[in-house]
Structure 1
Amino acid sequence: MIGLSPGNGHPYSWSAIFNGYEPAVMEHCGFPVIPRYLEQQSFPEDAIAEARVTHVWAQDGEIARHVASAARIGHVVTDWRDLIGAVDGILLARDDAESHLEFASPFLEAGLPIYVDKPLALSTREARQLIDRQRYPGQLYSCSALRYAKEFCLDDATRASIGTIRQIHATVPKDWDKYAVHVIEPLLLLTPDRGPVVRCQRWQSGDANTLQVEFENGIAAQISTLGSSAAPLALRVIGETGWRDLVFKDTFHAFRSALHEFVQGALHRDVRIAPQFMLEVVNVIELGRGQ
């Protein structure tokens, strides 16, 4: 486990999903929502049984020791490179994408499977650099856990009732660079026949950012990160004959599903998320940055 970037509690929550946790210590993790959704689960029954977080590094030793205490991690390392040879896989639980190439490269070159927290990168150029460092297909796994959110799935009956999807309007709180991916990824999964982006427009109002894109097959999407506003993390899917509002709620289920999928990919050494899909996600992020 490698952490911790400002505002990102994943070293705590992800580790707990494997190891269980100490409630009294987790209360002081600095992310009040984490102990609240963890206490709704039953451990060890709801933990991931096939793996365990055994080592942790953070840029501040005190933080690393607190993560270890909260999530029952046995070893705190002072140099993250020392994880090579000590563990079977890496959780890079930092969402400062600008650090991902530096942190991930040694592990990719060493052949270790690695889960890189969202977003993989802020440009397709950097994303390709990471993907190209793989020693085998599927070694690099990166996603928003919301790709596995049950709330963002459409069953056959719902798809039939709304008809062919024409537009998706997506909203998420906070900033574009770190949080747009939470709706971009499920949006792309809902539209597998979309083709490439053929037209886009972006605008900014205060701390809110909006990107409008049209795909080759005619589907349009509007993605808004709404900064400090109390916005829902939601998709409105509009079809020819109806529409549905899909609102994300179950953080634990999404996180556990994403982590479990990473473990299965590491165990079987196969591809769980296609590199081309990762690049498409990063491409939309890059378009929304306007750089």
Structure 2
Amino acid sequence: MKELKLGVIGMSDGNGHPYSWSAIFNGFNDAYMKDCPFPVIPDYLSKQSFPEDSIFEGKVSYIWTQDKEISKHVAKSSNIEHIVEHYPDMIGQVDGILLARDDYEHHLEISEPFLKAGLPIYIDKPIAINKKQANKIFSLQKYKGQIFTCSALGYAKEFQLTDKMKTEIGNLEYVEACIMKSWEKYSIHIIEPVLKIIGDQGEIKLVNKTISNNKHIITYTWDSHLVTTISTLGESPSPIKIRLFGSKGYKELVFEDTFYAFKKALQHFINIIKKEDPPINQGFVMKVVDMIERGLES
């Protein structure tokens, strides 16, 4: 299959994905990337070897952001050839879209022309913060698997349990996970890996909420009697961490390798386009959205 041409769409406040996602495909220009407004990005990119560590099957060829000067800087930093005036201008020019913005309130509006055109699209997390909006976006799919959406932390190597670890933990009895920043945008980063770790626990039968000062501590009790607590801590410094308490032992998992997680997620999107991997599980996505929605203040 020929190299896929991709278009990237940005920016949203506090989110540097157009720089990093594009660089994972294209490599980067250090002279410009050093001025990236998100210093963590050039830091972790500099630890990789390019082009060896890039994704070879695709290239980000087009970019749109709401600010032409930002578009120019991202393009120079991440070796993107074309800047478009309007994001629908990418239709007919690319094989897939990276909607690299986490302002979920604009996901429907921005994704709609691409979905109607039949282009596969990676929609940054969260696709929506309520089931009604998520279903509206999914209803625009022309075919199963047209939409890819996730938290890249669901692919983090730190959150993958080996058989040995599962044996040491025993039957899960309690899980807690925490992350900085807002519930709406960041809870998904720990909800997804937690759901992948715990597997099918039935339905949520009870939700307890403590919400104060931009801190959300939400406890879910499942049919299986497993209890999981998901916390977003606002501006309080916190590592991204999952703690597992089992009948035999305890494990603490701490996220560290951003590049690995982003690359794995982007590679999965490419593999779906190439029909090498099955589409994402829409039911899983809706379960994640349901947990986000249940954690919001009434």
In the superposition, the TM-score normalised over structure 1's length comes to: 0.98
What does residue 189 of structure 1 align with?
196
1:233 aligns with 2:240: yes
1:201 aligns with 2:219: no
1:245 aligns with 2:258: no
What does residue 105 of structure 1 align with?
112
What does residue 142 of structure 1 align with?
149
Q: Give deviations 1:136-184, integer Å, cap 9, x for gaps.
A: 1111000000000000011001101110111110000111111110000
CA contact (8 A) 1:10 1:93 kept: yes
The correspondence for 1:24, drawn from 1, 23, 31, is 31
Could you say what secondary structure the match of 1:36 adopts?
helix
What does residue 280 of structure 1 align with?
287
Letter matched to residue 145 of structure 1: A
Q: Give deviations 1:226-257, integer Å, cap 9, x for gaps.
A: 11111110000111111100000000000000
What does residue 35 of structure 1 align with?
42
Matches within 5 A, 1:63-78: 63-78=70-85
Matches within 5 A, 1:22-171: 22-171=29-178
For structure 1, list consecutive stretches of 5 or more residues without a partner in the other structure: none
Could you say what secondary structure the match of 2:207 adopts?
strand
In the superposition, the TM-score normalised over structure 2's length comes to: 0.96
1:269 Cα deviation after fit: 7.6
1:171, 1:41 → 2: CA distance? 28
For structure 2, list consecutive stretches of 5 or more residues without a partner in the other structure: 1-7
Matched residues, number = 291
1:106 Cα deviation after fit: 1.2
RMSD: 1.0
What does residue 218 of structure 2 align with?
211
Identical residues among aligned pairs (%) = 47
Q: Give deviations 1:76-125, integer Å, cap 9, x for gaps.
A: 00100111111000000000000000011111111100000000101011
The correspondence for 2:186, drawn from 159, 179, 189, is 179
Q: Which 4+ stretches in 1 moved above 2 angstroms? A: 269-272
